[in-house]
Amino acid sequence: MVKICIERTLADYGFTATDSDGKTAQFDTSPDEGGLKYGVRPMQSILMALGSCSGIDIVSILKKKRVAFSGLYIEITGEREKDVVPALWEKVHVIFTLKGTSEFEKAEHAVSLSINKYCSVAETLRRAGCIITWKVMVQE
């Protein structure tokens, strides 16, 4: 069982979350809603989790395929539902850029396996009705 503790630590909307290993993350709301740029907005953290989860999968898969690369950059854009509360992620697009390799097909296969099979965050978003699209780029 996972245990997360969250405490309000700054003004009205600043929170610090601590996981069972003592790792922390700071959260806040947007400045137009009274936030102070103290931390990540909770809904944006979901997209961060998507990229991180998928990144871990991709690195693991490419290591097993013995694909050497020097870097992985992930850019995510998303659109939330409009005029509803709660406003869920409706569409998310992810661009994966692998640096230091020319093995596009293996990179694309690794991304496909992650997004469509292994990444729990991607599956959580899909089950909530989110459409996830993606693109792979390699740079030698």
What are the structural domain ranges in the chain? 1-40, 42-139
Q: How far is CA 72 from the centre of its chain?
A: 14
In eight-state DSSP terms, residue 20 is T
59-71 per-position pLDDT tens digit: 999 999 999 999 9
Helix crossing, 104-113 with 42-64: angle to 10°?
A: 130
Predicted local confidence at residue 50, as pLDDT:
98
Q: Strand pairing of 131-139 and 89-99? A: parallel
90-140 per-position pLDDT tens digit: 999 999 999 999 999 999 999 999 999 999 999 999 999 999 999 999 998
Whether 65 and 137 have beta carbons less than 8 Å apart is answered as no
- Architecture in CATH for domain 42-139: 2-Layer Sandwich (3.30)
- Could you give the percent of the chain with pLDDT greater than 70? 100
